[in-house]
Structure formats: C-alpha cells, structure tokens
Chains A and B, each alone.
Chain A
Amino acid sequence: MKKLERLVLCIVLLSTLSAGASGLVSVSKGRLEAIWLSPMSVKIKNQTKTTRSFIQVKDFKLMAKAVTVKQFKEFLEKNSDWRKDKVSGLFTDANYLHGFENARDNSPVTNVSWFAARAYCKSQGLRLPTLNEWEYAAAASETLRDANKNELFLKRILEWYGEPQTEQIKEVGSIYKNLYGAYDMHGLIWEWVEDFNTTFVTGESREDSSFNKDMFCGAGSLASNDKENYAAFMRFAFRSSLKGKSSIWNLGFRCAQ
C-alpha cells in the first residue's frame, strides 16, 4: 500500500512539475458515438429497439505528440533492460527497434512492442491510453469533437491508410493539431493502446460475427462496414493483427495520464 501511495505522489508531482515538458494536453470527458460498433438491440417495455452504440470516457490527459526517437533513447540509457541486446524474448520480436540508430531524433519511435511502450510510459509516471480514450481523442478534428462522419476528415485518414510507407516517417507535430491540442492522431503512425487485445477480429473476419454471438453476451459486435465507419474498421483490423511483442515500422505510441 505504501508503495502505491508513493507512486501516486510521484505522479502528482510529475504532472504539476513537468506537465509542459512531457507535453500533456487535457481531454475533457464525454461520450462518442462508436460508429465501429453495430447498433445494439435493447428491449424497452417489451419492444425491441436498436440504438446506436456510444463510449464514455472520463477526463484524462494525453501526450500532445507521439514519443520520439530522442525520448526513447533517453529511456534506454536509464533502462538498459530494454536495449535490443538485452531485452526479453517475451516482450519483443526480431523487428524490435529495427532502424532505430538511423532514425531522426524528432521522428516518432516505431518498431516498439506494446510491452516496451508501456514500460516507457511507466517510467514517466504515465500509462498507455485505453482504446476508448484514444478513439475519443482521435475523433476530433481541428474544430470538431466528433469528426468521424466528416467527409474531409475521413478522406485525410483514408489517404494515409491507402499510402504504403515507402518513405522515412515524418517528424512529430508535422501533420495537424486537433482541438484538444494533440498532434498527428492520424496520418503519421499507428499507435498502441493499452487494451488493443479487446478487439475480436480473428483475421478470419467472416467468422467473427458468429464467434461473437457464441462467446459473448450482448457486446456490440464490430459493425459491417459502410462508407462512414470503414476507416475505424481498418484500425480495428490492424489492432487485432498485433501481438504484445509485435514491432512494426509504422507503429509507435504516446502516453496518457
């Protein structure tokens, strides 16, 4: 218990002292239509109605920019367990930190596993954002809290999804800043979330709907794709292909609090 108290104190101190340095922005609580979930059937007074699915998030803080190569280098200096030559095989695969030495300091760190991303955030007194937190923050455009159905916003996202990553990854902060002050939520890299393994796309996507029905009660299953939600759908497909040790060239992270 004592340990926990100290940790809490530490986090409080960190947040007050280095809010600027670690670059956190506030995201205020609210709810977001989960367009990636199919409408739920709800029984109200013996009548079955379908309602849209929503997610709720509490106030939280999010790093304005993805963790950079430079920041991760500093982390490795203090935490040698996470260096490529020392790291546990449980936590990383062979791609871990591939190309790291030659990456630009101000580019986001990529080829990091979920375990490594998490360890970094912990070292800063932070954590990875939850999937809902990330989707909630990422739904915002420069001016709208929920731009998930905005055609121009979707177009930008899909352009990045449709473009193979053949060039060097751009620097953090170079794409756009949303109304919470978070940069590049789309268009720079994919990002890890704490509970990425809550997505039940098995890779055999045609099997998933029945899989959901058999194993789970009442959970909104991933919706069949229409033109408004298929960008989100692709994000979920991407996450479901990941394992905790996966390291991918265009997958990085940012921390939350």
Chain B
Amino acid sequence: MADQSSEVAVLTAPPHVPPPITRSKSVKLIVNLEVIEKKMKISDGVDYTFWTFGGTVPGSFIRIREGDDVEFHLKNHPSSKMPHNIDLHAVTGQGGGAAASFTSPGHESVFSFKAINPGLYVYHCATAPVGMHIANGMYGLILVEPKKGLSKVDREYYVMQGDFYTKGKFGVQGYQPFDMSKAIDEKPTYVVFNGSTNSLTGDNAIKAKVGETVRLFVGNGGPNLVSSFHVIGEIFDKVYREGAMEYNTNIQTTLIPAGGSAIVEYKVEVPSNLVLVDHSIFRTFNKGSLGIMKVEGPENKEIFTGKTADNIYLPEGGAIQKVNDKEKITTAASVEDQLKLGKTVFTNSCAACHQPDGKGIAGAFPPLANADYFNADAKRAIDIVKNGKSGKITVNGAPYNGVMPALGLSDEDIANVLTYVSNNWGNKKRTFTKTEVSAVPVAKENSGGEH
C-alpha cells in the first residue's frame, strides 16, 4: 500500500469510453463521481428530470484495472433534492458500497474497495425508493480490466439501455413527470439507449470505418426490462456474455438482464448504417430503443451485394397507438407551425426507419427524400401513414418489400408530417390539411382499436 502510486481515474460521458489501461501495476485509483439532478430531453420536445451520475444517462464510464485499490468519492450536488448512494456490482462488500456512500445534498462520501474480479459491471443508486432512483437514470458501467488487458480493437463505445415511465404517453410534448403506477406495472413509456430516443441517431450516430474491429460495452440499467440486444446488419464475432471475461463466438442477439451487461465485438466489413436495437422489437419502433452506427468505406460486393435486403424485423400488421386528443398541447395555426410540428412527428415516429435525412436505408426502408413514389399520389401518401403499408413497392427504381405499421397518429399530425416531408429534401412542395386527411377512410382492420 505505502509504495503504491496514486492516480485519478479518467471518466467519460456516453457513448465514449476511457482509453485502455496500459500500466502493468496496480495503483491507488481515485474516482470522483458527482450526482446531479437535471432536466434533459428524453425525446424531441419531451423534458424529463433525470437523476444522474456525472450529468449523463447512463452515468460516466469508469475504467479500472484488476488489483487496483479504488478510493471512491461520491459527491451529491447541493442543488439535489434527494440523498443518493452507489452500489457498484464490481465491489465485494456490504451492499456494493451503498450504505457507505449514502450522501445528502451538498455532501461527499468516501469509501475504498479493492477490484478483485475482472469484468464489466453495472453500478446504480440504491436509495429508497430504489426503483425510482434507477428509473430516473441512476446507473452506469464500470469496467475492471483483467491484468493482462483486453484485446486490441479499433474503436470502443458505451451503450446502455433503460426503461422510463412518464405520465404522458410516448411523444406527448412538454415536461413529463415520473409515473410510479406505470413503473410498478412495468409498462414503460420509453425504452431508450443512452437516456434519449436521439442519443445515437442523426448527428449523434456512432461511427466506424470498413475493416475496423468495434467493441461495444453494453449495459442494461432497467429498472424492469430485460434487453434482447441486437445489431441489425452485423453478427457479433465475440460476445462476453453478461460481462464475463470468457467469450462466445458468432452471436446474433444477446440477452442483457436488468442490472447486467455484455461486451460485444465485431469487425465491420462493408459500409452501411448498422441499427442497434432491443429485439423485443416494439420497444425499438414504438418506444425508442434504436441507435445507428454509421460504417463508412469502400464496398465489398463479395460480402454484401446490396441486391437483397438484410433481415429486418418489423412487427406485422398494425401497431396501433391510440393518441388521446386531449393530451395534444399544440395546434398548427400556419404552414410554418405545420412544418415545425410535422418535424417533431417525423423525428418521433418516422426517422427511426426513414432516417432523419429522409434518405431511408437502402434495401430496407424506402427513401422519402426526392421520392417519386411519395410525390406521385397525395391520397396514397395519406392512406399509407394512416393505415400502414405492406408488400412490394418500387421507389426511385429500387424494389422494397417491407411492412410499415399504422402509426395511430391523429389526422392533424398526419397533415403536419406530410407537409413537413413535402417541403423538404427536394420533394414536390405541397401542404396537407386536416380535412384532406380526414377524408381518407380508416382501413377496416385498424378501425377496431382497443376495447
């Protein structure tokens, strides 16, 4: 102990991971983690009060080495309303440090532990009511690197799933408070990666280049759901199941328990947009658990020709989401309003498949940008958004054979989103009115709704 040198741990915000540990000796490692309660976006136009470790959801990534003596400083920001603590699954000792780190606002707790077992571990808050603290985003990952280190890869990222319970339904705008009833019933409003429906899409997509090997540190904070983690368009070369240090090879989907983790590695061979999903698939397309990894580089026709579609998992038939009109806060008064509101609808309900830039994903999701199929028939466009669409179509010369569910949008939302799409990306400029949308009948199989 006495001759041990001391270091301060580098912490990173998701999706980033601290650099691999290169030292060959154990040290006394000081970890400073600050608890901050703050309002952030859980989705476009939707605010939520998150309780965070380090200001982000999931909390800061902590990287330590097997054998390190960790001196852990948990600081609870003075602006906090609640006391908090931390239970690190990497800790051998009472409560994983929970009681030792119980800290009221404006105070700091210090405790020490020795990192005995290598692996990827979840940490979380364990203050009563525990479920609520976790549901508000209080979890993260701590990696205890084995003494010999992990194999060298080109890129490492940090992705963590969580389920959220808000008073308003998915996409209802404005500030949304926590809903204890839904949490007890285990009926989440949002299931997301890295604390927001947008954390890994659009400009926030994570990146890799063809030929690189990628390692994802994946966690699941819960509080309730188990994740069927899958990357559309890739096969995991290695999966360190449940964060253990032995791996299995060639895995399609790996189960990540609430309060558990996995390390997945794969070499990206061809350029594409890989889609990170919870393959309990309604969560992905209706609750937000979707992320993109953009792989750029030269094509390799031997591995992927671009001719056939990748396996896309879409729910068959209509995914009816009834939208309660009473919860609508805003009504468009002008075309500008329509464009603004339409953009929000697009981001929440369409961008996951058709992409934020409307270009779609070749072979899987048809483009809306400068799209002949879209521009040709306004009534058909309304009908597809209203009632869904399945079967073969041709868009800009390319064939598509997928399923789009009926989205359960209100007529007004449909008018707004179609107006938004029409006035962007080189489409035929046109406005859609609510009356026009209402005139298109609801298809029979969708009209039954919930009883």
Residue numbers of A with Cβ under 8 A of B are 93, 95, 98, 111, 155, 158-166, 201-208, 222, 225-227, 230, 233-234, 236-238, 240-242, 246-250
Contact = CB atoms under 8 A, between A and B. Distances in A.
B49 A237 contact: no
B130 A206 contact: yes
Contacts of B53: none
Interface string B134-164: 0000000000000000000000000000000
Contacts of B39: 164
A155 B180 CA distance: 11
11 contacts: A95-B78, A164-B37, A164-B79, A222-B128, A225-B129, A226-B180, A230-B132, A241-B83, A241-B103, A248-B107, A250-B105
B95 interface: yes
B178 interface: yes
B422 interface: no
A98 B127 CA distance: 26
Contacts of B102: 202-204, 240-241
A115 B87 CA distance: 31
A202 B104 contact: no
B251 interface: no
With a 10 A CB-CB cut-off, give which of B36, B130, B178, B180 has the most chain A CB atoms. Answer: B180
Nearest to A155: B177
Nearest to A99: B78
A235 to B, nearest CB: 10
Nearest to B132: A230
A155 B132 CA distance: 15
Kindly list the 7 A-B residue pairs having the minimum CB-CB distance in the complex, ordered from nearest. A203-B102, A241-B83, A205-B128, A204-B99, A164-B37, A204-B95, A225-B129
A152 to B, nearest CB: 13
A249 B82 CA distance: 12
Contacts of B36: 164
A202 B101 CA distance: 11
B81 A162 contact: yes
B282 to A, nearest CB: 25
B99 A203 contact: yes
A201 B128 contact: yes
Contacts of A162: 49, 81, 177-178
B61 to A, nearest CB: 23
A249 B79 contact: yes
Contacts of B130: 205-206
B180 A204 contact: no
B83 A238 contact: yes
Nearest to B49: A162
A205 B94 CA distance: 12
Contacts of B379: none
Interface of B: 36-39, 49, 77-83, 85, 94-95, 98-99, 101-107, 126-132, 177-178, 180-181, 184
Given A233-B128, A237-B83, A249 B78 contact: yes
A205 B134 CA distance: 13
Given A164-B39, A205-B128, A238-B104, 14 more contacts: A158-B178, A161-B81, A165-B105, A202-B99, A203-B127, A204-B95, A204-B98, A205-B127, A227-B180, A238-B82, A241-B102, A246-B107, A248-B105, A248-B106
B84 to A, nearest CB: 9
A89 B81 CA distance: 25
A245 to B, nearest CB: 11
Contacts of A208: 128
Contacts of A202: 99, 102
B129 A247 contact: no
A161 B105 contact: no
With a 10 A CB-CB cut-off, give which of A93, A159, A202, A237 has the most chain B CB atoms. Answer: A237
A163 B132 CA distance: 14
A186 B79 CA distance: 17
B49 A164 contact: yes
B95 A207 contact: yes
A249 B83 contact: no
Contacts of A222: 128
A90 to B, nearest CB: 17
Contacts of B131: 225
B184 A226 contact: yes
A165 B126 contact: no
B105 A233 contact: no
Contacts of A159: 177
A46 B107 CA distance: 50
Contacts of A248: 78, 104-107
A160 B81 CA distance: 8
B98 A203 contact: yes
A206 B49 contact: no
With a 10 A CB-CB cut-off, give which of A95, A225, A226 has the most chain B CB atoms. Answer: A225
B39 to A, nearest CB: 8
Contacts of B129: 205, 225, 230, 233-234, 237
A237 B127 CA distance: 7
A246 B107 CA distance: 9
Nearest to A190: B81
A173 B269 CA distance: 66
Nearest to A158: B177
Contacts of B104: 238, 241-242, 246, 248
A250 B107 CA distance: 13
A78 B205 CA distance: 63
A100 B38 CA distance: 24
A159 B39 CA distance: 13
